[in-house]
C-alpha cells in the first residue's frame, strides 16, 4: 500500500516537472525542473530495487550533466522572445498534429490492448542475492561487453569531432604550453644572479636619481610640517 | 550468474572490425606526432586499413555457415559478408576520389580520415548486428561520424547549418527508433533479433497492439535514416550543404548500410509483422518516388538534384522491400549496389572537376563539358542514363528486377505508378546531359590533378555501368546467393 502511494506521488511529480521543463519561461527554471524530474525518476528506480542505476542517474545526470547545462544556460544570453516568435503562429498546426497522433495511438491501444505477460520478480532474477552494482558490472563486462566497447568507440568519436571542430591551429595569438620544456627546466635557466650594492650613494651616482631622491626627501619633510 | 566459460565471444569472426578499430586509434595517435607536410601518410594508411579489412573479411568467412560472435550479438552470414565486402571496396574508391579535393581544400587530414573510418566501422557494425541494442548503437556511431564529416568543413556557413539540421533531426529520429524498440522489447522481452522472431511466433497474435505500436515508431526511424518521404527534409539540405567528400560518402556507401539495416530489422526480426510494415512502406514508397522525381525537376544545384534523385531511388528500394519475397529482397540488394556504383561515378566526376578551392555544384558549371573534358562528360552521360534507367545500362536492369518482383507479388498498380514516375525523372537526368553536350561554356572548367590511379578507377567505374548493364547475371546471382546462403 505504501509503495503504491509513493509510486503515484513520484509519478505525478515526475510528469508535472517534465511538463514544466517545456513550459517554463525562464530556461534556468527549465533546467531546475529537469533536475527535479531526474531525481524523482531515480526515486522510482529505487522502488524497483535498481539502486545502482538510480544512484548513477543522480551522480551522472544531476551531478555532472545538468550542472554543466546550468552553467551554459546562465552564460548564454538567450533572447526568449526571438525564439518564441514563431510559436503562436505554428501552435494550431502543432495542436492538430498532436491530437491526430494521440488519437492514432489510443485507437491502436484500445483496439488491441496491451497484455502484461509475466511480471519480473526481483527474487527470481537475483537468486544469489548479489548487490546491484555487482550484477550490473558482471553483465557489462561479460554478456554485454560488445555494446560497452562500441559505446566507448562512440565516445572516442565524439571527442575527436569536438576537438577537430574547435581546434584552430592557425591562430597566432593562441598560447601553447610546451610541457617538455617546462619539465626539463632547471634553476640555472630561470634565475640569474646579479651583483648589486645596497648602498644608496652608489646608486645615486646618476643625476636623475639624485633629483628623485631629493624630491622624495623634501616631500617627506613637507608632510611632516 | 553466467560463467565466463559459458560465454561465446568467438572474437575471430569480428577480427575485421577489431582491426579497423585498432587502426583508427593508431592513426589518431600517429597524427599527433607527424608534421603537416607528411600528412599524406594518413591517406595511405586509410586505404591500407580498408584493404586489410577486406582481406580479413574474406579470410574469416565460412561459406554456408552463420557465425556468431559476442554471445550472438554479432552475426556473419552471407548477407553480412557480401555487403561488407561491397562497403570496403566502395569506400576505397571513395578515398581515391576525394583525396585530391581534401589536399586542395586543406582539410585536417588526420581527423577527416579517422572520422571517415569511424563511419565505415559504424556501417560494418550495423550490417552484422543481430541485436536491437547493437543495431541502435551501430546506427549512432555511423550517424555521428557522418555529422562530424559534414561539420568538419567548418568555415562554411552552409556546411555548419547542414550539420546542425542533420544532427537535430537524426537525434529526433534516433529517439523515435529507440521508443519503438522499447515497445518491441516490452512485448517480447527479448533483444536478440532471432529471439524476437521466436517470441512473436510463440505469442501467436497476443499483444499485437503493442508490437504494431512499436513498429510504427521503428519504421518512422528507419525511413528517416534512408531519407524517404515524409522524413526526407534533411536529404537535399545535407547533400547541398556538405562538402563534396562528405556528400560522396553519404550519397553512396552509407545507402548500403541503411538498406541492410532495414532488412535486418524488418525482415530479420519483425517478418511476422510484414503485413503491417508492408503497408507502411508502400505509402512511403509512393510518396518518395512521386516527390523525389517531381521536385528534382526544378533544381539548379547538381548536389541537390542528386539528393532528390536519392529520395526517388530509395523509394524504389522501399517498393522492393514491401514485396516481402526472396526475389524482391535480392532485387533490393542488386538495386542498392548498382545505385551506389552509379552514384560513385557521378560524384567521382564532380570531384575530379573541382579544382583548387572551386566546388563544381551548379548544373551550369557542367556546360560545354563534352568539348573541354570529353571523357568526364562521357562518364557523366553514362551515370545520368543509368540513373534514368535507359536500357543497356545497369540502372535499367535494377529497375526492371524491382518491377518484376512487384508484379510477381501482385502489386500491378504500384509497378505502373513507379514506371510513370521514373519516366518523369528521366527529364531532369537528360537535362544534365543536354547542358553538357549542347550548351555553350562561359568559363573554362579545369580538372583537378587527381592522379593516374584515381582517373583509372573513375573510367573503370563508368565502364562498369555499361558492363553490368549488359551482363547483370553474375551480380544478380551473387545477390540472391547472399540471401539464401
Q: What is the pLDDT along chain A (225 residues), one digit of tens a residue?
A: 888 899 999 999 999 999 999 888 888 888 999 999 999 999 999 988 888 889 999 999 998 888 888 888 888 777 666 777 777 788 899 899 999 989 988 888 888 777 766 555 555 566 677 788 888 888 888 888 999 999 999 999 999 999 888 877 665 666 777 888 888 888 777 777 777 766 555 555 566 666 766 777 776 554 444
Q: Could you tell me if A156 lies within 8 Å of chain B, comparing CB atoms?
A: yes
Report if residue B2 sits inside a domain.
no
ipTM of the complex, rounded to two decimals: 0.91
* Rg of chain B taking only CA atoms, in angstroms: 22
Report if residue B235 sits inside a domain.
yes
Express each pLDDT in B102-121 by its tens digit: 888 877 778 899 999 999 99
At CB < 8 Å, which residues of chain B contact A? 1-2, 4, 7, 9, 21, 25, 28, 69-71, 73-74, 108, 111, 114-115, 118, 121, 125, 131, 133-134, 137-138, 140-141, 144-145, 147-148, 151-152, 154, 187, 189, 206-210, 212-213, 216
Residues of the domain holding B303: 7-484
- Nearest CA among B182, B209, B273, B185 for reference residue A109: B209
Most B-contacting residue of A130, A150, A154 (CB-CB within 10 A), to test interface: A150
Instruction: Convert B102-132 into a string of H (helix), E (strand) and C (coil).
Output: HHHHCCCHHHHHHHHHHHHHHHHHHHCECEH
Q: Which helix (H) or strand (E) holds B159?
A: helix B157-188
Report if residue B1 sits inside a domain.
no
In terms of C-beta distances under 8 Å and separation of at least 24 residues, what long-range contacts does B30-33 make, across chains too? B30/B110, B31/B109, B31/B110, B31/B111, B31/B114, B32/B110
- Nearest CA among B121, B98, B441 for reference residue B247: B98
Start-to-end CA distance of chain B, whole Å, equals: 35
Distance CA A13, CA A113 (A): 27
Spatial contact of A154 and B141, defined as CB atoms under 8 Å apart: yes
Instruction: Tell me which residue in B9, B133, B206 faces A147 most closely, judged by beta carbons.
Output: B133
For residue B131, list its beta bridge partners.
B192
Q: What is the chain B residue with the closest CA to A117?
A: B187
Report if residue B394 sits inside a domain.
yes
Quick check: B141 and A153 CB within 8 A? yes
Residue B246 backbone dihedrals phi, psi, to 5 degrees = -65, -40
Q: What is the chain A residue with the closest CA to B148?
A: A161
Report if residue B319 sits inside a domain.
yes
Quick check: A147 and B74 CB within 8 A? no
Using DSSP, state whether B362 is helix, strand or coil. Answer: strand
Helices (H), B5-156: 15-33, 40-60, 78-105, 109-127, 132-151
Residue B450 backbone dihedrals phi, psi, to 5 degrees = -85, -5
Distance from CA of A110 to the nearest CA of B (A): 8
Distance from CA of B445 to the nearest CA of A (A): 31
Report if residue B70 sits inside a domain.
yes
Distance CA A192, CA B227 (A): 69
Quick check: B141 and A150 CB within 8 A? yes
Number of structural domains found in chain B: 1
Residue B68 backbone dihedrals phi, psi, to 5 degrees = -115, 155
- Nearest CA among B469, B458, B236 for reference residue B347: B458
Quick check: B144 and A161 CB within 8 A? yes
Distance from CA of A151 to the nearest CA of B (A): 7
Instruction: Tell me which residue in B121, B152, B209 faces A111 most closely, judged by beta carbons.
Output: B209
- Nearest CA among B130, B120, B73 for reference residue B94: B120
Distances from the Cα of B84 to the Cα of B75, B144, B318, B464, angstroms: 12, 20, 21, 20
Distance of CA A87 to the CA centre of its chain: 28
- Nearest CA among B406, B405, B395 for reference residue B468: B395
Instruction: Tell me which residue in A105, A128, A145 faces B213 most closely, judged by beta carbons.
Output: A105
Global confidence as pTM: 0.87
Report if residue B343 sits inside a domain.
yes
Distance CA B432, CA B441 (A): 14
Q: What is the chain B residue with the closest CA to A136?
A: B1
Distance from CA of A88 to the nearest CA of B (A): 22
Most B-contacting residue of A103, A117, A160 (CB-CB within 10 A), to test interface: A160
Ranges of chain B with pLDDT below 50? 1-5
Instruction: Tell me which residue in B138, B145, B216 faces A157 most closely, judged by beta carbons.
Output: B145
Distance CA A88, CA A91 (A): 5
Report if residue B62 sits inside a domain.
yes
For residue B301, list its beta bridge partners.
B362
Distance CA B316, CA B338 (A): 13
Contacts of B396 (CB under 8 A, 6+ apart): B386, B389, B390, B469
Distance from CA of B267 to the nearest CA of A (A): 23
> A53-63 b/e with 16+ CB inside 10 Å = b?
ebebbbeebbe
Amino acid at each position: 500500500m505504501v509503495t503504491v502511494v509513493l509510486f503515484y506521488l513520484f509519478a505525478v511529480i515526475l510528469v508535472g516537472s517534465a511538463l514544466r521543463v517545456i513550459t517554463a519561461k525562464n530556461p534556468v527554471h527549465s533546467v531546475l525542473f529537469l533536475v527535479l524530474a531526474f531525481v524523482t525518476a531515480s526515486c522510482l528506480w529505487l522502488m524497483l530495487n535498481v539502486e545502482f542505476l538510480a544512484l548513477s542517474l543522480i551522480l551522472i545526470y544531476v551531478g555532472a550533466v545538468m550542472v554543466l547545462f546550468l552553467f551554459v544556460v546562465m552564460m548564454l544570453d538567450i533572447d526568449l522572445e526571438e525564439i518564441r516568435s514563431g510559436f503562436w503562429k505554428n501552435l494550431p498546426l502543432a495542436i492538430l498534429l498532436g491530437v491526430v497522433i494521440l488519437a492514432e495511438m489510443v485507437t491502436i491501444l484500445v483496439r488491441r490492448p496491451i497484455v502484461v505477460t509475466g511480471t519480473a520478480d526481483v527474487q527470481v532474477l537475483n537468486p544469489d542475492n548479489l548487490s546491484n552494482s555487482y550484477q550490473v558490472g558482471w553483465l557489462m563486462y561479460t554478456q554485454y561487453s560488445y555494446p560497452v566497447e562500441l559505446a566507448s568507440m562512440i565516445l572516442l568519436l565524439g571527442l575527436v569531432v569536438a576537438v577537430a571542430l574547435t581546434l584552430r591551429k592557425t591562430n597566432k595569438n593562441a598560447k601553447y604550453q610546451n610541457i617538455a620544456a617546462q619539465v626539463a627546466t632547471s634553476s640555472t635557466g630561470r634565475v640569474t644572479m646579479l651583483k648589486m650594492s645596497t648602498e644608496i650613494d652608489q646608486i645615486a651616482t646618476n643625476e636623475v636619481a639624485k633629483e628623485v631622491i631629493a624630491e622624495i626627501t623634501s616631500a617627506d619633510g613637507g608632510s611632516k610640517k | 550468474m553466467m560463467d565466463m566459460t559459458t560465454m561465446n565471444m568467438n572474437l575471430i569472426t569480428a577480427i575485421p572490425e577489431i582491426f579497423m578499430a585498432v587502426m583508427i586509434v593508431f592513426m589518431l595517435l600517429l597524427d599527433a606526432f607527424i608534421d603537416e607536410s607528411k600528412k599524406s601518410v594518413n591517406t595511405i594508411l586509410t586505404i591500407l586499413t580498408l584493404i586489410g579489412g577486406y582481406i580479413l573479411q574474406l579470410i574469416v568467412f565460412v561459406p554456408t555457415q552463420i557465425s556468431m560472435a559476442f554471445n550472438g550479438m554479432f552475426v556473419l552470414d552471407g548477407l553480412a559478408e557480401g555487403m561488407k565486402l561491397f562497403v570496403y571496396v566502395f569506400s576505397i574508391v571513395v578515398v581515391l576520389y576525394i583525396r585530391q579535393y581534401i589536399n586542395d581544400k586543406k582539410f585536417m587530414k588526420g581527423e577527416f580520415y579517422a572520422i571517415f573510418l569511424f563511419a565505415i566501422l559504424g556501417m560494418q557494425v550495423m550490417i552484422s548486428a543481430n541485436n536491437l541494442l547493437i543495431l541502435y548503437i551501430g546506427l549512432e556511431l555511423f550517424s555521428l561520424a557522418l555529422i562530424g564529416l559534414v561539420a568538419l568543413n567548418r568555415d562554411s556557413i552552409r556546411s555548419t547549418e547542414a550539420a546542425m539540421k542533420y544532427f537535430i533531426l537524426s537525434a529526433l529520429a534516433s529517439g523515435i527508433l529507440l521508443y519503438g524498440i522499447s515497445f518491441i522489447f516490452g512485448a517480447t522481452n527479448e533483444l536478440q533479433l532471432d529471439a524476437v522472431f521466436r517470441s512473436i511466433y510463440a505469442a501467436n497474435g497476443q499483444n499485437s497492439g503493442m508490437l504494431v505500436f512499436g513498429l510504427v515508431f521503428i519504421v518512422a526511424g528507419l525511413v528517416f535514416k534512408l531519407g524517404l518521404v515524409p522524413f526526407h527534409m534533411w536529404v537535399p539540405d545535407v547533400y547541398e550543404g556538405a562538402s563534396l567528400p562528405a556528400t560522396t560518402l553519404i550519397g553512396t556507401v552509407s545507402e548500403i548500410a541503411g538498406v541492410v539495416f532495414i532488412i535486418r530489422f524488418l525482415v530479420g526480426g519483425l517478418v511476422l509483422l510484414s503485413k503491417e510494415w508492408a503497408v507502411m512502406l508502400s505509402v512511403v514508397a509512393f510518396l518518395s518516388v512521386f516527390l523525389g522525381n517531381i521536385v528534382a525537376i526544378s533544381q539548379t544545384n547538381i548536389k541537390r538534384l542528386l539528393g532528390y534523385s536519392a529520395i526517388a531511388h530509395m523509394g524504389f528500394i522501399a517498393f522492393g522491400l514491401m514485396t516481402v519475397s526472396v526475389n524482391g529482397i535480392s532485387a533490393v540488394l542488386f538495386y542498392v549496389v548498382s545505385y551506389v556504383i552509379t552514384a560513385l561515378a557521378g560524384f567521382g566526376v564532380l570531384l575530379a572537376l573541382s579544382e583548387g578551392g572551386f566546388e563544381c555544384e551548379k548544373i551550369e558549371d557542367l556546360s560545354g563539358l563534352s568539348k573541354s573534358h570529353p571523357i568526364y562528360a562521357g562518364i557523366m552521360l553514362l551515370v545520368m542514363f543509368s540513373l534514368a534507367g535507359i536500357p543497356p545500362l545497369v540502372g535499367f536492369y535494377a529497375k526492371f528486377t524491382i518491377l518484376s518482383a512487384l508484379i510477381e507479388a501482385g502489386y500491378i498498380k504500384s509497378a505502373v505508378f513507379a514506371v510513370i514516375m521514373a519516366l518523369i525523372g528521366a527529364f531532369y537526368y537528360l537535362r544534365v546531359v543536354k547542358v553538357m553536350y549542347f550548351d555553350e561554356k562561359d568559363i573554362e572548367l579545369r580538372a583537378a590533378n587527381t592522379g593516374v590511379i584515381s582517373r583509372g578507377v573513375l573510367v573503370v567505374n563508368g565502364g562498369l555501368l555499361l558492363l553490368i548493364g549488359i551482363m547483370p547475371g553474375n551480380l544478380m546471382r551473387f545477390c540472391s546467393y547472399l540471401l539464401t546462403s
